[in-house]
């Protein structure tokens, strides 16, 4: 015999562009927020799985509609506030729904005219947020950043590692180090200056990345530590750092020196370093990471 285990359902990748007209600096021009919103619900959903009875299944189409309606209703809020409010909405209005999860990817734009009506995508990163609201456990909140590509031309080493039968790597005392930062940070609470928190976390991880590094793991720990120091509302940081290898091009066959000047940027395979840094007093995460 079989049983139904954990399940959830929702609408993924609802693309919302919201314009706050006249909300630019000094009341001139617009502010735009470009979001990709995904929502999912869980609760007493056995019937639809077992018999196709949909009496508890608020349609994913409704979830899409709700995203747009809330974008209008909530106005120019930060994505953290939006995600928290939307997640709370479902568990407070749908009897069968005991947990709601809302994720937002925010794509940054920058103004390209003094009038404040024209913008260009600023492609350096994606800001991410996930809020979960559970009937019993209340709200939890994760922030983070994706697609932040960074590189050090010097100051990175990797040596002193063990060697087994399959090890051919040479010690590196001055390698190029590049990665695409994927970071998530867990919030202690649900009230903070979210724009300032994101800016501080981003700046802190960038600064930590520029420090001398004996391994990408060391850089990872430095980045997590720096974020925790920069934003007290953050209690835990999880990082995934692909090591985007840049190998020195071998120019010797052509009689040319290559003193750390010309590199080949490889695609695959790549190293992948994943780790967590926690404040000593971080509360139990509960369902925050689910």
- Number of Cβ within 10 Å of residue 250's Cβ equals 11
Say what the alpha-carbon torsion angle 278, 283, 287, 289 is, to the nearest 10 degrees.
Answer: -10
- Write down the catalytic residue from 48, 60, 180, 276: 60
Decide: is 270 part of the binding site for a copy of itself (CB under 8 A): yes
| Chosen residue from 26, 27, 136, 280 binding a copy of itself by CB under 8 A | 280
Catalytic residue of the set 64, 133, 244, 245 = 245
245 is catalytic: yes
Q: Three-state SS for 199?
A: helix
Distance CA 38, CA 262 (A): 42
Active site residue 89: no
The DSSP result for 213-242, as a single string, is BSSHHHHHHHHHHHHHHH-TTEEEEEEEEE
Give the x/- contact pattern for a copy of itself in 105-144, rule: CB under 8 A: ----x--xx-x-xxxxxxxxx-------------------
Cα–Cα dist 179/8, whole Å: 33
Q: Does 8 bind a copy of itself (CB under 8 A)?
A: yes
Q: Which helix (H) or strand (E) holds 205?
A: helix 194-209
Tell me which stretch binds a copy of itself (CB under 8 A): 78-86, 132-140, 193-201, 265-273: 265-273
Distance CA 35, CA 15 (A): 6
Site for a copy of itself in 229-258 (CB under 8 A): 236, 238, 242-243, 246, 249, 251, 253-254, 256-258
Name which of residues 30 to 69 contact a copy of itself (CB under 8 A): 30, 32, 34, 38, 40, 45, 48-62, 64-66, 68-69
Give residues 73-92 in contact with a copy of itself (rule: CB under 8 A).
73
Residue 11 annotated as catalytic: yes
What's the closest the beta carbon of residue 68 comes to a copy of itself, in angstroms? 4
144-173 positions binding a copy of itself, by CB under 8 A:
147-155, 157-169
Among 188, 225, 287, 290, binds a copy of itself (CB under 8 A): 225
> What backbone torsions phi and psi does residue 60 show, to the nearest 5 degrees?
-65, -30
Catalytic position from the list 11, 64, 89, 244: 11
CA 217 to CA 32: how far, in whole Å? 37
Q: Is 4 near a copy of itself (CB under 8 A)? A: yes
Closest distance of CB 24 from a copy of itself, Å: 10
Q: Which of 27, 72, 136, 284 binds a copy of itself (CB under 8 A)?
A: 72
Cα separation values, 244 from 38, 48, 123, 233, 264, Å: 29, 45, 19, 31, 11
**DSSP three-state, residue 155:** strand
Contact flag: residue 179 with a copy of itself (CB under 8 A) = no
Cβ closest to a copy of itself, residue 57 vs residue 83: 57
Select from 146, 188, 276, 290 the one that contacts a copy of itself (CB under 8 A). 276
Buried b (16+ CB within 10 A) or exposed e, 11-47: beebebebeeeeebeeeebbbbbbbbbbbbbbbebee
Window 184-203: residues binding a copy of itself (CB under 8 A): none
Tokens of residue 163, six digits: 């060697």
Residues marked as catalytic: 11, 60, 245
């Amino acid at each position: 015999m079989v049983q139904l285990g954990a399940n959830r359902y929702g609408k993924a990748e609802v693309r919302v562009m919201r314009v706050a007209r006249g909300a630019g600096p000094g009341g001139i021009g617009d502010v735009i927020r470009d979001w990709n919103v995904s929502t999912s619900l869980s609760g007493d959903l056995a019937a639809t799985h077992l018999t196709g009875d949909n009496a508890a299944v608020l349609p994913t189409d409704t979830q899409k509609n709700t995203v747009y309606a809330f974008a209008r209703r909530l106005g120019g809020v930060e994505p953290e506030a939006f995600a928290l409010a939307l997640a709370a909405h479902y568990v407070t209005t749908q009897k069968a729904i005991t947990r709601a999860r809302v994720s937002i990817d925010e794509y940054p734009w920058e103004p390209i005219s003094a009038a404040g009506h024209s913008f260009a995508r600023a492609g350096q990163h994606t800001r991410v947020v996930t809020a979960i609201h559970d009937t019993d456990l209340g709200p939890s909140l994760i922030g983070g950043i994706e697609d932040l590509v960074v590189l050090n031309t010097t100051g990175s080493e990797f040596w002193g590692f063990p060697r087994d039968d399959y090890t051919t790597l040479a010690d590196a005392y001055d390698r190029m180090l590049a990665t695409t930062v994927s970071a998530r940070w867990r919030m202690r609470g649900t009230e903070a200056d979210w724009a300032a928190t994101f800016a501080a976390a981003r700046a802190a991880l960038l600064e930590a990345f520029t420090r001398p590094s004996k391994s990408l793991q060391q850089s990872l720990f430095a980045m997590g530590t720096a974020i925790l120091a920069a934003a007290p509302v953050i209690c835990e940081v999880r990082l995934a750092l692909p090591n985007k290898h840049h190998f020195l091009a071998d120019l010797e066959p052509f009689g040319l020196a290559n003193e750390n000047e010309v590199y080949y940027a490889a695609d695959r395979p790549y190293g992948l370093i994943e780790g967590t840094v926690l404040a000593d007093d971080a509360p139990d995460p509960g369902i925050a990471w689910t």
